[in-house]
Amino acid sequence: MAKGSVGRNVQAVKRLVPRQVKDALIKFRSSDGSRDFRRSPSYAFLRNLMDRYRVERLVGETPDGFQRRIHQFLELEDAPMEGFQDAEKQRDLSIRFMWGHDHDFGPFRLAGQMGERHIWLLSTFMDDFRALPRDLVGKKVLDIGCWTGGTSLLLAAMGADVVAIEEVRKYVDALTYLRDSFGVSNLEPRRLSLYECSGPEFQDRFDLVLYAGVLYHVTDPVLSLRIVFDSLRDSGVCLLETAAIPSGNRSCATRALAYSVPAAPSRPTGAAGIGSSPPRPPFRG
């Protein structure tokens, strides 16, 4: 695509974005450098939720057995289990096991490749965008590209019934192991590509879809968004976070957080929150 037409498309997309989303993004971006998310109102709430996944809360495993098994995952380097013909052409992340989100298990802690991103992400949607309630009891949530599942575990601890999909088998195995070891009955990790989630099992099913850190990975972003859109129930909400194009002309933030707009033409527009949560302004400030 020619450079000029990229510029025109960006302008066209910008015209489609509702005012309140633009305002929230500008506010978010301008405060991004100085703002310490650890001081945000939801940080302590989310950190505390992670305490449910410490060794003293194990139900299906002994502490020693648990630590041994986690270390087996960390040492895993396996291309055939992912079905790759030529490992050279694949991402390192899919072959060598790497822990995704920081996790303090008590007697030992793991530093994830993405640090406390799971807490940053959810606290941002809670506090900056006012798009995620703390109580998700009764809500069905799809977490796309869950990696080792920091966000999935938090969403489950908030009470949601979570389906966590991930295309890399070793991460699904690890999250399934965490699920079983901590007896998390409302979390279902599945080894699936997002592109496999277009069947009836996924249509009109979810109150909330978390589509974070994946859009820039996929080969057909527009098709992926269509699949996400179809998976939402009426009034369902997609929380999207993605890296975007670095730009000197401020036409595009290097990281974009977006709060979904309506799931279908007949569905309510500009709705904040999820399902039956009381109406409130979509964004702070």
| Identity of the residue, 118 or 130, whose beta carbon is nearer to ligand SAM in the bound complex | 118
Tokens found for residue 190: 């599945």
CA-to-CA distance for 263 and 231, rounded, in angstroms? 9
| Identity of the residue, 163 or 212, whose beta carbon is nearer to ligand SAM in the bound complex | 212
Burial of residue 198 (number of CB atoms within 10 Å: 0-12, 13-18, 19+): middle
CA-to-CA distance for 158 and 155, rounded, in angstroms? 5
Min dist CB 26 to ligand SAM, Å, is 22
* H helix intervals, the chain: 3-16, 19-32, 43-50, 63-75, 92-95, 117-123, 150-157, 169-181, 221-231
| Identity of the residue, 90 or 277, whose beta carbon is nearer to ligand SAM in the bound complex | 90
Min dist CB 64 to ligand SAM, Å, is 28
Min dist CB 281 to ligand SAM, Å, is 26
Name the site residues for ligand SAM (rule: CB under 6 A): 100, 114, 117-118, 121, 144-147, 151, 165-168, 171, 193-195, 212-214, 217-218
| Identity of the residue, 55 or 155, whose beta carbon is nearer to ligand SAM in the bound complex | 155
Phi, psi at 152, each rounded to 5°: -65, -40
Please compute, for residue 170, the number of CA atoms within 13 A of its CA located in the half-sphere on the CB side.
Answer: 24
Find the residue with minimal CB distance to ligand SAM. Answer: 145
Min dist CB 132 to ligand SAM, Å, is 14
| Identity of the residue, 150 or 236, whose beta carbon is nearer to ligand SAM in the bound complex | 150
CA-to-CA distance for 171 and 190, rounded, in angstroms? 10
Min dist CB 70 to ligand SAM, Å, is 17
